[in-house]
Amino acid sequence: MSEEKLAFVGKQVKDIYGTFIGRVVGIITEIDGEIESVGVDCGSSGIKQMPYEQLVVQGDYVFFIPRWRLEAQKLIRQKSLTLKRIRALQEIVSENDNMKEDAELVTIKYEKKLHDLEENEKAVSDKLTARVAELDSETKQVKAVLFDAKLQFRSNEMKEETYQQVKIGTDELIEHINNEKTEIGNVKSKLAGLTIENISTTASAPATPAPAPVPATTEAPAGDAPQADGPSEASASAEDKPSGGERQSQDSEWLHQVIQQ
């Protein structure tokens, strides 16, 4: 096991929206030495094994990427490419009718692929809807904590200093929740906008990648890397990702995207 792969042991773990999760205490490896999962001490919740492909090292932190985000980004890439190829086939046939017979066989292939992706899109959409419901429930719990603290403060059971600490903490949690809900909304909008009609009107223009979400307390330097959908406007390189990433497929290469301060 190289020191590079062990470098993130002991680092704090946050989700990409800034919420603290725990601390890396160790790793589980496969028989060939590649990392399978990472053990994270989550306090009273105990040690949780987090999939290695959902973690990105950035500076002093390890950031956890939600599974829904992985699946949605992969779906967006695949559907966008499939639609572009279907549109390209249509243009080829319109320009040269002699190629119609050859293009039909390829078109059938991509139309089947598009149908499969649309079925997958329904499943992803259901997961996004369920996640928003979870976030709404978490918001209510956080607001209940803040309201109770305010009640105690007004009844002179709590000092103002303590109340302000509670307010700062709950405000941060609400901000993290809203950041994730915003990104889910962006993903839904992008999926809904991926149609043959939209592809045909934008195919000639270079695609502009949307930015990645901003963790609340990252101290990593800025750098250059691919970007993904999210509410922020800039990003930084995840160059400290352990070398196990070379075994990931092309569909998961975006995990080396940036996580910005």
Res. 231: pLDDT tops 90 = no
pLDDT digits (tens, 9 = 90+) for 128-165: 999 999 999 999 999 999 999 999 999 999 999 999 99
Res. 99: pLDDT tops 80 = no
Ranking 2-11, 21-30, 155-164, 190-199 by mean pLDDT, the lowest is 2-11
| The pLDDT of residue 132 | 95
Other beta carbons within 10 Å of 159: 11
Q: Which domains does the chain have, with CATH numbers?
A: 3-64+215-256 (2.30.30.240), 68-202 (no CATH)
> Tokens for 209?
């990648």
Please give the Cα distance from 201 to 228 (Å, whole number): 22
Residues 6+ apart with CB under 8 A from 149: 158, 162, 163, 166, 167, 170
Burial label, 17 (beta-carbon count in 10 A; 0-12, 13-18, 19+): buried
CB 194 within 8 A of CB 84: no
Helices (H), 96-205: 100-154, 160-193, 196-202
